[in-house]
Amino acid sequence: MTFAFEFSNVQFRYDGLSDCALCGLTVAIPPGEKIAVLGRNGSGKSTFFLHCNGLLRPQYGEIRFGGKPLSYARADLRQLRRRVGIVFQNPDDQLFSASVGQDISFGPLNLGFSSAETEERVRQAAELCGVTHLLDRPTHALSGGEKARVAMAGVLAMEPSVLLADELLSAIDPWARLDIFDILQTLYDRGTTILLATHDLSVVRYWATYVIVLQKGKIAFSGTPAQLLQNSSVLEATELSKIWWNVDMTVEE
């Protein structure tokens, strides 16, 4: 199998900080899965995502995408960003245009699509994310759930084969979450690899087909949800057992 991503011993430290954010991270991400990325605040989830898209470069170690080492040449980065999309934790960091439709058109235009092709992609992405009626609205006049969906549409208009969603669920209400999960399911059915950073363990139990757990910049676990649920030593070591109280632990095979 060719993995979507392979990280081997990746290390990264932010300027001016003594502790590493990624401290020898080694993991292989299988393609076409719904992957939950767990880990406490500061465990390195966002930093990991930024590396997947080439926004940060490892200071040590190697990253492979689709079996090939990442290249940071301009043209290669463009190809990478076309195939790997990130929806950021806070949609306000991502929406920059004054109108929703224009914001969604930004990615495809950067990829060099014509106006006509871009319009078509904006239309499709907006429909997929249920924001067609908002296309004309200013981006600052949206609810939290709407902002999240618009931010997603902006990324999906580039039609990535891997979607990274960073704690997308934290700021929105449970109904808005359902909308997001509908969108993610459609993408999954189309073969998109999805990585969702989350603190919601029911996501692991009921949604994910694969789980990775980060702890202090390293991988503490990677495997299927069933494997995680049955591995009490990992659950103890990562302190996941402490917060697992509201999720049904029984595993059906």
Alpha-carbon distance values, 41 to 81, 98, 153, 199 (Å): 26, 31, 26, 9
List strands edge to edge, sheet with 22-29. Answer: 22-29, 5-12, 60-65, 68-69
- Interaction between residue 225 and another protein (CB under 8 A): no
Among 105, 193, 215, 222, binds another protein (CB under 8 A): 105
| Binding flags for another protein, 48-67, as an x/- string (CB under 8 A) | --x--x-x------------
Least distance from C-beta 72 to another protein, angstroms?
12
- Interaction between residue 43 and ligand ADP (CB under 6 A): yes
Least distance from C-beta 47 to Mg ion, angstroms?
8
- Interaction between residue 102 and another protein (CB under 8 A): yes
Torsion angles phi and psi, residue 23, rounded to 5: -120, 60
- Interaction between residue 47 and another protein (CB under 8 A): no
Alpha-carbon distance values, 50 to 3, 83, 246 (Å): 18, 14, 31
- Interaction between residue 17 and ligand ADP (CB under 6 A): yes
* Residue in 44, 59, 62 with CA at minimum distance from that of residue 212: 44
| Binding flags for Mg ion, 28-67, as an x/- string (CB under 5 A) | -----------------xx---------------------
CA dihedral of residues 51, 55, 57, 63 (deg, nearest 10): 40
Q: CB under 8 Å to 190, separation ≥6 — which residues?
A: none
- Interaction between residue 21 and ligand ADP (CB under 6 A): yes
* Widest pairwise Cα distance in the chain: 55
Locate 194 and state its tokens. Answer: 């999805």
Among 2, 42, 59, 170, binds ligand ADP (CB under 6 A): 42
Give contact residues for another protein (rule: CB under 8 A): 50, 53, 55, 74, 78, 81-82, 85-86, 88, 90, 92-94, 96-99, 101-103, 105-107, 109-111, 115, 118-119, 122, 136-141, 154-155, 158
